């Protein structure tokens, strides 16, 4: 991978329930406490994946299942989405690592159609790796008595992992939806799962999370 831009991602299988790392956190997700985060599922970030192959295809399907279930159960659904054509001063050090980023065209900036936000959802502007940075995510969660966050989306070992870590540091219990995430490779995906499970969150599959939120 070059220092700028996103790498082309080769297909890989999502981890199965039997492959998930044991989590140090003892928490159980609860309908009355949880919020769902759909992280950075924009055209620009999705483009490096093979559209219909794993991990992206099944990850999108699992995010959609979680979102539909959460809406039905009254669990708030939050989205993050970066703005395109960012001013260099606003983009900050991200420009040094990833280049100028996306354009403001719908072909880059829009959230992908299969996961389009509903009227009841919240769409937050994403500024840095963590969804909590320079956003009112925590304020919106606390106002709704939510102290748990289910993290889905891309990329698992970057923004998703950073969001889970910051949730922990804000005393918000993080649940990492292992098969509703995607990454540059299975190696990076597993790295994120292992890191979160051992340090700041509970790693679980979509079926397990939906069953707990029944």
Sole residue written with tokens 């919106």: 140
Considering the candidates 13, 40, 183, 207, report the single residue annotated as catalytic.
40
**3-state DSSP of the chain:** CCCCCCCCCCCCCCCCHHHCCCCCCCCCCCCCCEEEEEECCEHHHHCCCCCCCCCHHHHHHHHHHHHHHHHHHCCCEEEEEECCCCCHHHHCCHHHHHCCCCCCCHHHHCECHHHCCCCCCEEEEECCCCCCCCCCHHHHHHHCCCCEEEEEEECHHHHHHHHHHHHHHCCCEEEEEEEEEECCCHHHHHHHHHHHHHHCEEEECHHHHHHHCC
* Angle at 193 (CA atoms; ends 189, 199), nearest 5 degrees: 140
Token representation of residue 107? 């072909």
Token representation of residue 138? 């925590």
Judge whether 90 counts as a catalytic residue.
Answer: no
Residues with catalytic annotation?
40
């Amino acid at each position: 991978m070059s220092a700028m831009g996103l790498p082309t991602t080769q297909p890989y299988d999502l981890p199965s329930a039997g492959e998930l790392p044991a989590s140090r956190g003892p928490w159980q997700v609860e309908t009355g406490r949880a919020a769902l985060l759909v992280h950075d599922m924009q055209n620009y970030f999705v483009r490096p994946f093979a559209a219909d192959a794993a991990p992206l295809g099944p990850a999108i399907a699992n995010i959609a299942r979680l979102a539909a279930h959460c809406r039905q159960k009254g669990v708030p659904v939050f989205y993050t989405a970066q703005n395109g054509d960012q001013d260099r001063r606003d983009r900050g050090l991200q420009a040094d690592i990833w280049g100028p980023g996306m354009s403001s065209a719908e072909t880059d900036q829009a959230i992908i159609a299969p996961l389009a936000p509903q009227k009841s959802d919240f769409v937050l502007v994403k500024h840095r790796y963590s969804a909590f940075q320079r956003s009112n995510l925590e304020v919106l969660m606390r106002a709704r008595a939510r102290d748990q966050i289910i993290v889905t989306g891309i990329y698992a070992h970057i923004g998703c992992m950073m969001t889970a870590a910051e949730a922990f540091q804000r005393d918000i219990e993080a649940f990492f939806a292992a098969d509703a995430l995607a990454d540059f490779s299975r190696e990076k995906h597993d790295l994120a799962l292992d890191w979160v499970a051992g340090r700041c969150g509970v790693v679980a599959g979509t079926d397990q999370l939906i069953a707990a939120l029944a």
